Amino acid sequence: MSSSSNVTAHPFKNCVEVSAVCPVQATTLGYYPNVGINAFFAVGFGIATVALLVPLFFGLFKRRTWGYSCFVAAGAALELAGYAARVPLHKNPWNKQAFETQICAIILAPTLICIGIYLTLQHVCLALYPALSRVRPTLYPWLFVPGDVSCLLVQAAGGALAASAGYTNTKLLNAGNRLIIAGIVLQVVVLALFGLASLDYYVRVRRWLAGRDTRGRQPTAEALRLWNDRQFRMFGVAVAVAYVCILIRCIYRVAEMAGGWGNKIMQDQPSFVVLEGFMILIAVGILAGFQPSYLFPQMANGRKQRLAMEADAAAATAANGSNSDNTELAENAAAKNEMAQ
């Protein structure tokens, strides 16, 4: 197979099973997928899906985070389908249906998981101090989720083109490959922007809580309680670790897909297992095990509650700013009187 990004005519287009004239090395993966590790991943993602949905639908927690749990569970379910499809590839790496199922499911699943992560920032901002955010907290989902959905659509279109091209229409196959790469690169960009926004808010909160806010705003007792709450900190660390795992996976996927179908990176099973399989399983396992429903219940607030919290915070900030201005004017006036005397 070609190792360049442009795929040439496939000399094994009529192969349906491994034989002397259709060796496993000629398949896109170039190896027999390990049954044990793929079954392990499938079971792991299945457990994570159940762990996310059972508490949600059976009300095991007092407050339920529908958006977070459903998106992460949907991603985990897609991963389950993808790794389950890799199991029959061990018996027959030329199984076209199994290959197409696993490639589409495993490539698209992290996009849904990312949406669950993107929903966290607005709730953290609202719960701590909304005024410290450079953007209105309720706008964060409208910035990052559409970007993530765009990644999903671009990758899905690329996967559909590649699948429909088969081994005969190389032009269509190349176009699908380029779309998949573009979608993953866009996903890395969106992830990076989200990371920068989160880091910026974290730094500003740390300064505020330490009494070093540039505008002289003082931390509230409620914010201090939440910041020092062990469960809230656990949730924050869990989301951060999951974020890093997904970012590593996306960078790996860009390198993998950039070489074209059947390149050396794509045909290296250990790197796929570690940088794709384990990275996403760790991320999903953490997100399922450290759910906001019991660690950060404020994330269950509905849209009306979020808007009300944002409006109250804006009003309080305006009032504090007015009081600060009045105090400054009074001090200036007193200073002038002293000089006049």
- Is residue 140 assigned to a domain? yes
Is residue 331 scored above 60 in pLDDT?
Answer: no
CATH of the domain at 103: 1.20.1070
Q: Is the pLDDT of residue 68 over 50?
A: yes
Q: What range defines the domain where residue 97 resides?
A: 31-313
Q: What is the pLDDT of residues 255-266, one digit of tens each?
A: 998 888 888 999
Cα distance between residue 132 and residue 204, in whole Å = 7
Evaluate whether residue 11 is within a structural domain. Answer: no
How much is the average pLDDT of 32-47? 98
Model confidence band, residue 14 (pLDDT cutoffs 50, 70, 90): confident
> Residue 103 has which token pair?
């490639």
CB atoms within 10 A of CB 305: 12
Handedness of CA 277, 279, 280, 282 (dihedral sign): positive
Among residues 69, 89, 74, 84, the alpha carbon closest in space to that of 288 is found at: 69
Please report whether residue 227 resides in a domain: yes
330 versus 132: the higher-pLDDT residue is 132
Answer yes or no: is 16 within a domain: no
Q: How many domains does the chain have?
A: 1
Residue 222 falls within a domain, yes or no?
yes
Q: How would you label 45-72 residue by residue, b for 16+ Cβ within 10 Å and e otherwise?
A: bbebbebbbebbeeeebeebbeebbbbb
pTM, rounded to two decimals: 0.85
- In this prediction, residue 1 has a pLDDT band, given cuts at 50, 70 and 90, of very low
In a domain, 243, yes or no: yes
Q: Cα–Cα distance between 297 and 124 in angstroms, integer?
A: 11
Candidates 134, 109, 152, 149; CA nearest to 196 is 134
Whole-number average pLDDT of the chain: 86
Q: Tell me if 41 sits within 8 A of 277, measured CB to CB.
A: yes
Q: Which two tokens stand for residue 25?
A: 């090395």
CA distances (Å), 278 to each of 28, 130, 172, 291, in order?
21, 35, 32, 20
Residue 21 lies in a domain: no
- Of 92, 89, 86, 91, nearest to 106 (Cα)? 86
Q: Which tokens is 48 given?
A: 């994570």
In a domain, residue 304? The reply is yes
